[in-house]
Structure 1
Amino acid sequence: MNPVQNIVLVTIILSFALLEIFSGRHRNFRATRDDTKLELFMFVALIAVSQPLIFAVTGKLGSLLMPEQRGAWAHLPWWAMTAILLVGDDMTQYWWHRASHTPLLWPLHRAHHTAHYMSIRITYRNNFFYYLMMPGLWISGVLIYLGFGTVYLVYIVVKLTVILGAHSAVRWDEPLYRYRWLHPLAWVVERTFSTPATHWAHHALTNDDGIGHYKGNFGNLLFVWDMLFGTAKITRRYPAQVGLQDDLVYGKERWFVEMFYPLLRSRRTHSALAPGGRAVAQEEVDGDLARGLR
C-alpha cells in the first residue's frame, strides 16, 4: 500500500478514536480481551496480509495474462474511474455483505456482529477468510493494474471515512435529525451514504423495537444500493443494544475460532461455527430463554 495512503488512513482512524474518547462513549464498550484480540489481529491481517496479497496476486496475474493492458485505462477521467469503482467495489461489497447473511457465508461474517458495542474498532472485525474472498477487493486489484491507482487511493480514503463514521460510537448524524432546518440535508445524506442510524440498525440485538434491521441496511460507502435493491430501513433512531442474542444465552465464541473458522471449530452449544453447526434462529434463543438457559 502507498505510504501516503497509510498515513492518511491512520490519521482518520486516530481522529475518530479521539472523538470516541473525548465524548466519553468509549466507556460503553464493555469489550472483553477476546474482543480486543479479534479486532486488533483482524485489522493487522487485513492491512498487512489480505489486501496486499490480493493486490499482488491480481498484479501478477495481470502481467502474465494481459501484459499489454497494464495502465490501459489510465486515460479515463477521474469521475469515470470513480463510477467504475463504486460499481466494481462498493456495489459488489453490498452483495457480498448481503450474501454473508445467508447460512452458507454467515460463519465468515458472524464475528462482525458479535460485538455488543458500536465503535470504529469493530469496522474490520470479521473472519480472516471474509476479506480474502471479497469480490470487491479482487476487482479493485484488477482496476489498479489497469491504471486506477491514484484515483483508488482517494476513493478508499473517502470510503474508509464513511465506514468508520457509520460504526463510530460518536453518532455524527444526530444533529441532522435534531434540527428541523437540517432535515432536508438529512434526507439526502441518509439515502446516499451509510450513517450511524442506518448502520447501527443493521447491528441491532433485536428487530422487535422497530429500529433493528439486521436483514438489511447492507451498504458500506453508499446506502444507495439498499434504496435501489429494497433492503433499506430509515428510522433516524438508534437501537438500545447491538450484538447477537445467542451469544447472550450460550456464551461468546473464542476470538481465534471467530477469526479462523473453518480451520478452527467451536465447542459451544448451538453454534454456527461448530461441525455441522448452523445459525441459531431467534425462536430457539427465545425458547431457551423461556426455559431459563442462561
Structure 2
Amino acid sequence: MLVFFTFVILLALTVTNSKQTFVILKKSREDWILDGIGLFFQGIAIPFFQIAVVFQLYQLLLPDTRASLNLYPIAAFLLSFVFVDYLYYWNHRLFHTRKLWFIHQVHHTVTEMDVLGTSRNTLWTSFFIVYLWIHSLFIYLLQEPNWYILGISLSSALDLWRHSSFSPTVNSWLYRCLSPWLILPQDHAWHHSQFIQGNYGANLKLWDKIHKTYHKSDQVPDSLGINSSLSLSKKLFLPLE
C-alpha cells in the first residue's frame, strides 16, 4: 500500500504541476508504451513471479530451511533496507560495465525525471536485478518477514520518488535532514546524465561515498538520457529480439 500511495501522490503532483504536465504531454507514443509496460511488469508481473515461481523454487531447493531465520524486527528491516541495498549497489554498478550495459541502457533513455519512467527497462532486466532473487529468499527464510517487507516497500517508494523531479529545496530543513545519507532525486538525476558515471546507490549514499562513485551537486544536470537507435521491440525484448 505504501508503494501504491507513493505512486498516486507523485503522479498527482506531476499532473497538477504545469512544468511536469508539459513533460508528460510531450512524451512520445513509444515512451508511453515503454513506461506503461515497465510499470505493469515490475509492479505486478514480477511480484507475482516472485510468489508463484521463485518462492516455490526455494521450497523445492531448501525444504528444511523455511522460517528458520529468527531476527528482531529492526534487524529484519535493516537486512532489507541496508544490506540488500549494498548488494543492489554492486548489481547496479555491474549493469554499467561493458558486458551488461546492453540490458540496462533502455532505462537511461529517459530524458526527464518522471515517476512514470521509473521502471523503463527491457522486460528481461528484472530477472538480472538482485531484488527478485534475494527478497524471495529472505522472505522464505524469515520466521517473521513483516519488517523485512516494510523495508522492501520503503525502498520501492523511495525508488519512485528518486525518479521524480520533486526534491526538497536546498537549505530546507528536510534537505538538511535527508541529504547527508539518502539518495535524493537530484543525486539520481546526475546518474541519468550523459557525463557522470556514479551515484549507483538506491537508498543510501554511503556505498557511493565508500567506493568513491558519489557525485555531489545541489543542482540538477541540464540534460538527461542517452540517444538510442534501438527499435521499440528491441527496447522491450533485448537480448531476445
TM above 0.5? yes
Instruction: State yes or no: 1:14 paired with 2:3.
Output: no
Which residue of 2 is the match for residue 127 of structure 1? Answer: 122
Q: Deviations over 1:57-98 (max 9, x none)?
A: 33223322332321112x311111122223552211111111
Match 1:255 to one of 229, 232, 235: 232
Q: Take 1:71 and 1:8, find their aligned partners in 2: how far apart are those partners?
A: 25
Which residue of 1 is the match for residue 81 of structure 2? Answer: 86
Instruction: State yes or no: 1:232 paired with 2:214.
Output: yes
Which residue of 2 is the match for residue 43 of structure 1? Answer: 39
Match 1:161 to one of 157, 161, 172: 157
Which residue of 2 is the match for residue 58 of structure 1? Answer: 54
Q: CA deviation at 1:187?
A: 5.0
Amino acid at match of 2:152: I
TM-score normalised by structure 1 residue count:
0.75
How many residues get paired?
238
Q: CA deviation at 1:164?
A: 1.4
Give the conservation status (yes or no) of the 8 Å contact 1:118–1:169.
yes
Q: CA deviation at 1:52?
A: 2.4
Give the conservation status (yes or no) of the 8 Å contact 2:3–2:154.
no
Q: Take 1:118 and 1:17, find their aligned partners in 2: how far apart are those partners?
A: 12
Q: Take 1:167 and 1:48, find their aligned partners in 2: how far apart are those partners?
A: 19
Q: Take 1:198 and 1:59, find their aligned partners in 2: how far apart are those partners?
A: 34
Amino acid at match of 1:44: F
Unaligned ranges ≥5, structure 1: 1-6, 208-212, 265-294
**Quick one: structure 1 residues 188 and 169, their matched pair in 2 at CA, closer, same or farther if it must change by over 3 Å?**
closer
Pairs within 5 Å for 1:92-131: 92-131=87-126
Q: Take 1:224 and 1:55, find their aligned partners in 2: how far apart are those partners?
A: 31
* Mean Cα deviation higher: 194-203 or 159-168: 159-168
Amino acid at match of 1:50: I
Unaligned ranges ≥5, structure 2: none
Which residue of 2 is the match for residue 138 of structure 1? Answer: 133
Give the conservation status (yes or no) of the 8 Å contact 1:101–1:109.
yes
Amino acid at match of 2:186: A
Give the conservation status (yes or no) of the 8 Å contact 2:113–2:165.
yes
Give the conservation status (yes or no) of the 8 Å contact 1:35–1:255.
no
**RMSD over aligned Cα atoms:** 1.9
Which residue of 2 is the match for residue 196 of structure 1? Answer: 185
Give the conservation status (yes or no) of the 8 Å contact 2:113–2:163.
yes
TM-score normalised by structure 2 residue count:
0.90
Amino acid at match of 2:179: E
Q: Deviations over 1:11-64 (max 9, x none)?
A: 210100011111222313431110110111122122333332234333223322
The one of the two structures with greater contact order (alpha-carbon pairs below 8 A, sep at least 6) is 2
Q: CA deviation at 1:258?
A: 0.9
* Structure possessing the higher radius of gyration over alpha carbons: 1
Q: Take 1:153 and 1:193, find their aligned partners in 2: how far apart are those partners?
A: 19
* Mean Cα deviation higher: 143-152 or 124-133: 143-152
Q: Deviations over 1:86-137 (max 9, x none)?
A: 3552211111111111111111111111021110111111111111121232
- Identical positions, percent: 25
